Structure 1
């Protein structure tokens, strides 16, 4: 076999293989682009899910108002139902269903900002510059340990079933997403609450990072704070 004949055969083989690959790709993609340029971003999915959750929440609130109205109307002629509703009202405070006002402490945490040159510190990793789950949990644990009677985060009442979660540089709480700053308020003896915050090891570590990398941390006592009522299920 001459050299020129060998090259012709090789070119023919390559063309056949390329044709098979193109045909297979078209069959798999059903004629569509495999890697679409306008692929949906995760942030868009989150926003769409949040919008749907808000719509459902509005319907839930309307139905809950109707249920309350029907219960109150029925209670006027049903002594047993009236007694049950009285028991529910008595438990409302402990369940977080009523707003509370009193002295307390507010803690604010936020990610590190960019410097004047638009850059972050050169000796910092991305994880050094954001508020993490353990940082939020340290604040919450310290305030509960300090005798907090009621607590809120991002103006949402925290109850026994609340589970704030940091996902990347956002916070997920009660089905809603929030960006920093994260604000936690607690009603209780301000002196005890601040002492508990100062004694929490996780908060001491966060403050060290705040000093080094510019993360934000402030805590302030107040004679009067209002913690909203819990409105979830």
Structure 2
């Protein structure tokens, strides 16, 4: 049984034509030498001056071949450098593209974070009580999301709807519209970031939770839960821009 000789060395593109050129040059020399012998001109019949001239020509040819080989090696080094630069550029562009997709919310992400659960009060307002303080409103979700972003959240979602720059959050009848999707309570806001920093931002004196105190007293549920890992889905909506166009360099 033949043993595996191991991985073959990779042939450079210039090696094949150079090897073929050397082979044919050697073959031509042998043929010429044998032809001269057959025609009755042995090497011993050459005069000293002719031999010296022949040696000089051979040395010149050898020098030319060495220069050509050096040139080919230089070209190969240039190709390898260009290939390496191309690979580095491709890697850099890939990294930038990944960062852009993350920032745009186009990739599912996971990491430590905070879960905020909001739910309408199970109580019914009594006569004279304002129903507003028994429900969760779009402004509550907007303010909580803004506080989370300000506290360093890297990704935020509401009921699995990923928030991006163009995400609308507004009341539509008894529902709240987020990313063209109508949501009903409970509203679960999930944010990826430092769990403690996110929680502290919401609980700070005079912050969003203090502003929700009247609603909380009426039974509106506001619950915070730190997690070692949460998972957020990618944004599934449209990101087409009909009117906004990038400004070219020098136009601003």
Give the TM-score normalised by the residue count of structure 1.
0.57
Rounded Cα–Cα distance in structure 1 between residues aligned with 2:129 and 2:163: 33
Q: Per-residue displacement from partner, 1:57-108 (whole Å, max 9, x unpaired)? A: xxxxxxxxxxxxxxxxxxxxxx9xxx7x946445211211111111100101
**Aligned with residue 212 of structure 2, among 198, 206, 209:** 206
Distance 1:123 1:217, change over 3 A: farther
- 1:10-89 matches, cutoff 5 A: 86=94, 88-89=97-98
Q: Which runs of 5+ in 1 are unaligned?
A: 1-78
Q: Does 1:113 align with 2:122?
A: yes
Two-structure CA RMSD over aligned residues (Å): 2.4
Distance 1:165 1:98, change over 3 A: same
Q: Number of aligned residue pairs: give it.
A: 148
- Which one has the largest radius of gyration? 2
Rounded Cα–Cα distance in structure 2 between residues aligned with 1:131 and 1:162: 18
Structure with the greater relative contact order (CA < 8 A, sep ≥ 6): 1 or 2? 1
- 1:161-180 matches, cutoff 5 A: 161-180=166-185
Which residue of structure 2 lines up, in the alignment, with residue 99 of structure 1? 108
Give the TM-score normalised by the residue count of structure 2.
0.53
Q: Which runs of 5+ in 2 are unaligned?
A: 1-85, 239-252
Q: Does 1:147 align with 2:152?
A: yes
Q: Per-residue displacement from partner, 1:181-214 (whole Å, max 9, x unpaired)? A: 1110000001110011112633212133212x11
Which residue of structure 1 lines up, in the alignment, with residue 224 of structure 2? 219
